[in-house]
Amino acid sequence: MADAFEPGGQPPLVGGPLAQRVADADRDRTVTLLREHVVDGRLTLDEFSERVGLALQARTRGDLEAVMANLPALATPQEEVGRRRARRWFVGIMSGAGAKGRWRISGKTTAIAVMGGCDLDLRQAEIDGPEVVITAIAFMGGVQIIVPEGFDVDLDVIPFMGGRNLKLRNVPRVPGSPRIRVRGLAFMGGVDVRSKPNRTGRELGQSIVERVLDSIGPLPTLGGASGAPIDLESLRRDLKEQLRAQRHQSRPGDRHGHQHGDGRGRSAHRADPVPEEVEDHLPESKGPAEGTVTILFSDMVNYAGMTEELGDQASRELLRQHHQVVRKLLEFHGGREVKVQGDGFMMAFGGVARALRCAAELQRAFSEYSLSHQERPIQIHIGIHTGEAMEEDDDFLGHTVIVASRLANVAQSGEILVSSLSAQLVERTGEFSFVDFREIALKGLTRPQQVATMEWAE
């Protein structure tokens, strides 16, 4: 891990390179570098969360350098001696033409398909400049253009007895990405522009194997062509078998392969958690991964006052209904009930997305319940944080748990208060929406916490 990091230690800057103002692209670049240091193990998730908050608030280069204090510079690939020439023309006359992989595109490019096809894949292309213009002409043929997810694309093609199609996944725009403008004519042909992720299902499956099983070898064939969707159920079974084999190999004193547990039927040797960026592509699993977890605290609003007003028996029945709803949604979203204290639940999830989905469903469920039971409504407030936690006696301990609990305490009625780290980990999925980013002080913690409110109303 990195050495101790103390923000605010830089002297005031009055001039020089460090006093230069920075743009959003510089801040995003710094956040990307911080993510790399988390992957390499130099930063914990809590340290990452703290530094990301400072990076997003940075005004000068000196501020960004302070964020990267005591972290080594990451190696970057050297510039090629002979840089590729930009491709200007693609012509397919009763044949095919195109480009994929690593190629260079700059300024303006023309693709002409006459009774043939042109396929341009920009996912790994070197794109120069803030904008690229592609003139696509399809005459009884087709032009297909694949762009990376999150790129801004304009399609201005005139169809004449032909067609045009723009299909982009609804994800947030990648900061600093160039704009792709496609213009032209489709005469008895078609121009198709669509976005695709940078990795196929099989490549994604292989990355899971490499990250979880430490590069044990190529992924066995699970059926279908290499580009076909991966069989996740077969992948899950294969991972479990190979994990079990690794556990046996790691116990030199156990020749018979006996299962060593912790007294509760669970293995004392666990695999590393599945990476956050791929956990939602795996089949649902019960309970969080060891080490890094997402903690969710949920509490009823003014339960003590309700008990005083309604009496013990009526308030107890209300509490039973609350517990029933929470446990049903918790099980559905693959979470784990850690403990219950009166009207409050502590829950743990193996991925941020599952916790956020569960939180949103909880708020919606109790909102609907309150509309039909206006005389006895149930309202809750939720706090969520992601980080490293220690598991002991079926409980989680540590700073991550404290932060999540404090967030629930300060959340307003009907609010889902999320740490900036949890929000950062799912920002590129486009599934969740956050508002009111701010910095708040939490009881018992010396440093303020960067937080945001998650929108849950449909």
pLDDT in tens, 178-224: 888 999 999 888 899 988 876 544 444 554 444 444 444 444 444 43
The total number of structural domains that make up the chain: 4
Q: For residue 235, give both structure tokens.
A: 């992948």
Q: Are residues 288 and 430 in the same domain?
A: yes
Question: Which domain, by its residues, includes 409?
Answer: 284-454
Q: Are residues 131 and 112 in the same domain?
A: yes
pLDDT of residue 242: 57
Consecutive H or E run containing 64:
helix 61-67
pLDDT of residue 247: 53
| CATH code of the domain containing 338 | 3.30.70.1230
Question: In the β-sheet with 292-300, what is the strand arrangement from edge to edge?
Answer: 336-341, 344-349, 292-300, 380-388, 416-419, 449-454, 434-440
Q: For residue 296, give both structure tokens.
A: 């969710």
pLDDT of residue 245: 60
pLDDT of residue 212: 47
Cβ 343 vs Cβ 322: under 8 Å: yes
Residue 406's pLDDT band, with cuts at 50, 70 and 90, is very high
In whole angstroms, give the CA distance from residue 27 to residue 269: 39
Domain membership of residue 263 (yes or no) is no
pLDDT of residue 297: 95
Q: Are residues 387 and 439 in the same domain?
A: yes
* Residue that terminates a domain, selected from 67, 97, 126: 67
Domain membership of residue 4 (yes or no) is no
pLDDT of residue 202: 47
Q: Are residues 302 and 449 in the same domain?
A: yes
Q: Are residues 60 and 97 in the same domain?
A: no
Q: What is the DSSP letter of 3?
A: P
- Does the pLDDT at position 34 exceed 60? yes
- Does the pLDDT at position 376 exceed 60? yes
**What is the per-residue pLDDT across 290-309, written as a single tens digit (0 to 9) for each?**
468 899 999 998 888 888 88
Q: For residue 58, give both structure tokens.
A: 């940075």
Highest mean pLDDT pick, 28-42, 248-262, 338-352: 338-352
Is residue 321 classed as helix, strand or coil in its secondary structure?
helix
Domain membership of residue 49 (yes or no) is yes
Domain membership of residue 352 (yes or no) is yes
Q: Are residues 308 and 425 in the same domain?
A: yes
In whole angstroms, give the CA distance from residue 417 to residue 434: 10
Residue 241's pLDDT band, with cuts at 50, 70 and 90, is low
Q: Are residues 137 and 113 in the same domain?
A: yes
Q: Are residues 388 and 433 in the same domain?
A: yes
pLDDT of residue 213: 47
Rg (CA), the chain: 26
Q: Are residues 208 and 295 in the same domain?
A: no
- Which sign, positive or negative, has the C-alpha torsion 237, 239, 242, 247? negative
Domain membership of residue 120 (yes or no) is yes
Domain membership of residue 55 (yes or no) is yes
Q: Select the more confidently predicted residue: 300 or 105.
A: 300
Domain membership of residue 438 (yes or no) is yes
pLDDT of residue 360: 93
Tally Cβ neighbours within 10 Å of residue 16.
10
**What is the per-residue pLDDT across 304-320, written as a single tens digit (0 to 9) for each?**
888 888 888 888 888 88
User: Average pLDDT in the 246-274 region?
Assistant: 43
Largest distance between two CA atoms of the chain: 83
Q: Are residues 297 and 429 in the same domain?
A: yes
- Nearest in space to 451 (alpha carbons), one of 385, 402, 397, 388: 385
pLDDT of residue 223: 41
* Residue that terminates a domain, selected from 37, 67, 97: 67
Cβ 371 vs Cβ 285: under 8 Å: no
Q: Which CA distances in Å does 87 have to 3, 122, 139, 357, 405?
A: 47, 12, 21, 45, 56
* Residue that terminates a domain, selected from 6, 35, 67: 67
Q: Which CA distances in Å does 196 have to 122, 127, 145, 319?
A: 10, 17, 10, 47
Q: Are residues 100 and 178 in the same domain?
A: yes
Domain membership of residue 74 (yes or no) is no
pTM for this model (two decimals): 0.42
In whole angstroms, give the CA distance from residue 16 to residue 369: 60
Residue 276's pLDDT band, with cuts at 50, 70 and 90, is very low
Could you please report the per-residue DSSP string of 404-426?
Answer: HHHHHHHPPTT-EEEEHHHHHHH
Residue 171's pLDDT band, with cuts at 50, 70 and 90, is confident
Q: Which CA distances in Å does 141 have to 81, 119, 120, 166?
A: 38, 11, 14, 17
Tally Cβ neighbours within 10 Å of residue 100.
13
* Sequence-ordered list of residues with C-beta below 8 angstroms from that of 85, at least 6 positions apart, any chain: 104
Among 111-115, 135-139, 282-286, 441-445, which stretch is predicted with the lowest mean pLDDT? 282-286
Q: Are residues 217 and 113 in the same domain?
A: no
In whole angstroms, give the CA distance from residue 372 to residue 107: 60
**What is the per-residue pLDDT across 383-394, written as a single tens digit (0 to 9) for each?**
999 988 887 777
- Does the pLDDT at position 5 exceed 50? yes
